[in-house]
Amino acid sequence: MMRKKLLAPACLLLAGCCLLSPAFAQNDIITTATPFLRISPDARAGGMGDAGIAISPDANSAFWNIAKTPFTTSPTAVSVTYTPWLQDIAKDVYMITLAGYHKLDEDQAFSAGIRYFNLGNIDFTDFTGTPTGSGRPFEFAIDLGYSRKISSTLGLGVALRYINSDLANGAPPNNGVAYKAGSTVAADLSLYGDNTTEDGQGFTYGLSLSNLGGKIGYTDNAETKDYIPANMGLGGAYTWAFQEMHKFTLAAEVNKLLVPAFPKLTGDTDADDAAINEYHSQSVFSSWFKSFSDNAYSGSLGAEYTYDNMFSIRAGYYKETKQMGNRSYFTAGVGIKYQIYGFNFSYLAPSGNGVTRNPLSNTLRFSLLFDFGAQE
């Protein structure tokens, strides 16, 4: 198991996997706390360029668009996904997700989900290189949600989320500052439209507002709390069904990060301090609207071919603007369904370098699904 050496305060910058601290914002990348909430949480959508808002519902709908859940054919389903992370430099960093739902009747359902992000073993040192201890930083989020149809073609959903980020696990105080685990709560609001025929052909669409919640901090200083990755996503998909056993879906999705840009520093101490204080002091609600002045967007294109509801082949492309991180990559995946069991695998083709290289490059992630009482 790999152990990584870091300065004690650098634990808070552990987003070598995803940028975290506004100190990095001078490269124009908008950064947030708890970036693990932006990691694609299942292998099916992961094989379609991370397009999950409008594709047909399954157990992982709780992560993408909870309003899809009442449109499922199975009364109950559960999924678990393993996602390795930064495999090029570490073997003990990964995310595990668990999601599921239960339909109360044909029109409403309860959903739940857990995301656990393990950042491996960390050896801390001070600025002289002297060991100061070790720790195992981790983050997790727990979701509970409810969704229902408001018509035969339209559904709405709401979910509540508790977020805990213990990046400072085991880190000693630094310059008199004691670190602690940060936590907050957030909500998702979503809409899903299903205009497909009985054989599954037609157009579906979705709108998802996710991670609408409070700031999070790792010290007792309330003025240094950071924003979580609030997001607005809009997606659409069209499925062609032909010769009874064949289905082909094309999906497209656009996401807008609802987080304001960190102010650019000018070198004028007074002016910079005032700008930073204004950044941290603005309300979360106003920050969502202020975020539309930046260019933090991402787009996804995905395709899925399914034979006899048993075997699927997937491909996709993901692209984001410079303020989102400037990453782009191709994905591929396969899915197998046998009775109540489902297996999904996805692969992300390497692209970029340095901070633009995706932490999932050259890794295979997989999901295991259980559909109980699925209708044939």
Q: Tens of pLDDT along 355-365?
A: 445 666 667 88
Lowest mean pLDDT of 54-58, 77-81, 116-120, name the range: 116-120
pLDDT at 52: 95
Whole-angstrom Cα distance, residue 93 to residue 115? 14
pLDDT at 131: 78
pLDDT at 357: 56
Whether the predicted pLDDT of 371 surpasses 50: yes
For the chain, give the percent of residues with pLDDT over 70: 85
Whether the predicted pLDDT of 21 surpasses 50: no
* 218: confidence class by pLDDT, cuts 50, 70, 90: confident
Whether the predicted pLDDT of 287 surpasses 80: yes
pLDDT at 19: 36
* Mean pLDDT on 48-72: 95
Whether the predicted pLDDT of 14 surpasses 60: no
Whether the predicted pLDDT of 236 surpasses 90: yes
Higher pLDDT, 294 or 85: 294
The sheet with strand 3-7 has its strands ordered as 3-7, 121-125, 131-135
* Mean pLDDT on 235-259: 95
pLDDT at 170: 64
* 171: confidence class by pLDDT, cuts 50, 70, 90: low
pLDDT at 4: 47
Whether the predicted pLDDT of 187 surpasses 60: yes
pLDDT at 232: 97
- The DSSP bridge pattern shows strands 3-7 and 121-125 to be parallel
Whole-angstrom Cα distance, residue 67 to residue 193? 9
Instruction: Tell me if residue 270 falls in helix, strand or coil.
Output: helix
Q: What is the mean pLDDT of the chain?
A: 86
For the chain, give the percent of residues with pLDDT over 90: 56
Ordered domains of the chain (ranges, CATH): 44-259+296-372 (2.40.160.60)
pLDDT at 351: 64
Place of tokens 């992961």: 46
* Mean pLDDT on 232-258: 96
* 26: confidence class by pLDDT, cuts 50, 70, 90: very low
DSSP letters for 5-39:
EEEGGGGGG-TTSS---GGGGGGS----S-GGGGS
pLDDT at 23: 38
pTM higher than 0.75: yes
**Do residues 140 and 216 touch, judged by C-beta distance below 8 A?**
no
Whether the predicted pLDDT of 155 surpasses 70: yes
pLDDT at 143: 97
